[in-house]
Chains A and B, each alone.
Chain A
Amino acid sequence: MRQILWVVNIAAGMLLLILVADRRNYRAFPAFSLYLLTNSTLSVLVFLTYYRWGFTSPSFWWFSWGMRVVAVSARALAVAEICRHFLARYRGIWGLAWRVLLACAASVLIYSCIAAKYQWKLALIRAERGLELAIAAVIVAVFVFVRYYGVEAKPADRSLAVGFCLYSCFVVLNDTILEHYLYRYELLWNVLGMLAFLGSLLLWTWALRKPQAEAGPEETLLPAGIYQTVAPQINLRLRLLNEQLGDLWKREATRH
């Protein structure tokens, strides 16, 4: 079962890679294409290592986990690219967003380190889990930005981001459960992980079935002075409005 799923995953990854090349979507998504290429290459390498050394050998364990770290790093780059696709057209917002997203990722990594007790044996699982959690948090944060500012997002970008986020969430859950029930759960953990990745691959294939336009030019922006003049005025008015509401609330509280 595990081997079949492994082969299916490799085949689905290759098919997606061919689709990306055929539709020339590597122009719009270079980092995502690089991630697919890295992932497919690593999958083949890990598969060959498995045949050479077997699933339970320490060499296979370290090799496969090392490859996973490379794959997660490539995925983080692809996610950064998708975040840029969402917001980079709006220079001002992007300038704010990338700092917030970076801070968010760093906070989540720190959270992961604190939440998990340190053990050498589980260091790789925990490193991967921390990175996956940071990826998921960054994607949710970028969607919150998109919603808050009412920015229009392309369906392909949304589908790619959702695929990454769901897969990362699944890996976090899976790794957490694996850590607690290490030996009993190992086979199931592997199969479920591959199924989740297959789901993401199918979602990405659907998202990239048509050629995607490269990132458009930056939006026509207002002169910088407008924001500097208007934003403080708006905030001042909003603050006054809030104070008025607060007064109303306090007066009511003292009366009753």
Chain B
Amino acid sequence: MNLPLFLFVGFVAVLLLGLGWALREPRERRKRQADPCSLEERSQRQVDYLPQIRQALTAEDYEFLSKKASRELQRRVRRERRSVALAYLAALRGDFQSLLRMARVIAVLSPEVVAVQEFERLRLTANFSWRYQMIRWKLMAGLAPMTQLDGLSDLVSGLSVRMEEALKELGERAAVAAELASSMNRRGMNTV
């Protein structure tokens, strides 16, 4: 008898939670406002540090230490490497989000978007978030080998390069369009 009551009250509760979530300013946007660095500068910075981060995560150093160093030192190194790996993973996610943001900007400024592409990206983002959290928890619990994050970084930096190319292309097209519009104005032509 009370099933409809629960169904409707539950639905309204979900809607109100959704409304509260949607009205809150996203954390990443707040951070972006606080950070004067541009999107491109930030993603570029992560790529710059990749060789050092990779070096910090190589297995050889740890194997060497396990043979030569005391247990205390090994523990300390393990702890520090874990924190480096976590910071690296967070940086990768930052890069991933920056790229997604660019993709959204392109979608917002496009005269036509394809629903399949948009939903595909949404699904991939949800997938990435889930897997990222899983790997993060495993790293925190000391269960995941850090060297395997290398492949992940290659993909993200590859994506950065492609996006930079796309943005460069956009910039060039915009410049051509502006030049065309300005020359048409000079000749007194209507662009519409």
Interfacial chain B residues near A162, Cβ < 8 Å: 19, 23
Query: Are the C-beta atoms of B8 and A172 separated by less than 8 Å?
Result: yes
Interfacial chain B residues near A226, Cβ < 8 Å: 106, 110, 166, 169-170, 173
Distance in Å from the Cβ of B179 to the closest Cβ of chain A?
15
Query: Are the C-beta atoms of A179 and B22 separated by less than 8 Å?
Result: no
Known: A137-B15, A143-B22. A150 touches B101 (CB 8 A): yes
Q: Mark A144-167, 1 if CB is under 8 A from B, else 0.
A: 101111110000001000100100
Query: Are the C-beta atoms of B135 and A245 separated by less than 8 Å?
Result: yes
Known: A91-B111, A222-B109, A224-B112. A139 touches B19 (CB 8 A): yes
Kindly state the separation between the CA atoms of A111 and B12 in the bound complex, as whole angstroms. Answer: 13
Query: Are the C-beta atoms of B111 and A231 separated by less than 8 Å?
Result: no
Distance in Å from the Cβ of B16 to the closest Cβ of chain A?
6
Kindly state the separation between the CA atoms of A47 and B105 in the bound complex, as whole angstroms. Answer: 51
B18 to chain A: closest residue by CB:
A140
B-binding segment of A33-41, A64-72, A233-241: A233-241
Distance in Å from the Cβ of B104 to the closest Cβ of chain A?
5
Is B90 an interface position by the 8 A CB rule? Answer: no
Query: Are the C-beta atoms of A136 and B15 separated by less than 8 Å?
Result: yes
Interfacial chain B residues near A137, Cβ < 8 Å: 15
- Kindly identify which residue among B117, B125, B138, B169 contacts A231, using a CB–CB cutoff of 8 Å: B117
Among B118, B138, B149, chain A packs the most CB atoms within 10 A around the CB of: B118
Is A180 an interface position by the 8 A CB rule? Answer: yes
A-binding segment of B50-58, B61-69, B74-82, B157-165: B157-165
What number of A residues sit within 8 Å (CB to CB) of B?
65
Interface of A is mostly: helix
Interface of B is mostly: helix
Q: Mark B145-175, 1 if CB is under 8 A from A, else 0.
A: 0001101100110110011001001100110
Known: A144-B22, A148-B104, A169-B15. A133 touches B155 (CB 8 A): no
Query: Are the C-beta atoms of A144 and B18 separated by less than 8 Å?
Result: yes
Interfacial chain B residues near A183, Cβ < 8 Å: none
Is A129 an interface position by the 8 A CB rule? Answer: yes
Query: Are the C-beta atoms of A256 and B143 separated by less than 8 Å?
Result: yes
B8 to chain A: closest residue by CB:
A176
A-binding segment of B41-49, B126-134, B182-190: B126-134
Interfacial chain B residues near A139, Cβ < 8 Å: 19
Is B114 an interface position by the 8 A CB rule? Answer: yes
Q: For residues 107 through 122 of chain B, which have their beta carbon under 8 Å from a beta carbon of chain A?
A: 107-115, 117-118, 120-122
Beyond A92-B109, A226-B173, A238-B124, 19 additional contacts (C-beta under 8 Å) are A129-B8, A133-B8, A147-B22, A150-B29, A162-B19, A162-B23, A173-B9, A176-B5, A219-B109, A220-B109, A222-B174, A231-B114, A234-B103, A235-B121, A237-B99, A237-B162, A238-B159, A241-B128, A242-B127
Question: 5 A-B contacts, Cβ less than 8 Å apart?
Answer: A133-B11, A180-B5, A239-B124, A241-B96, A244-B152
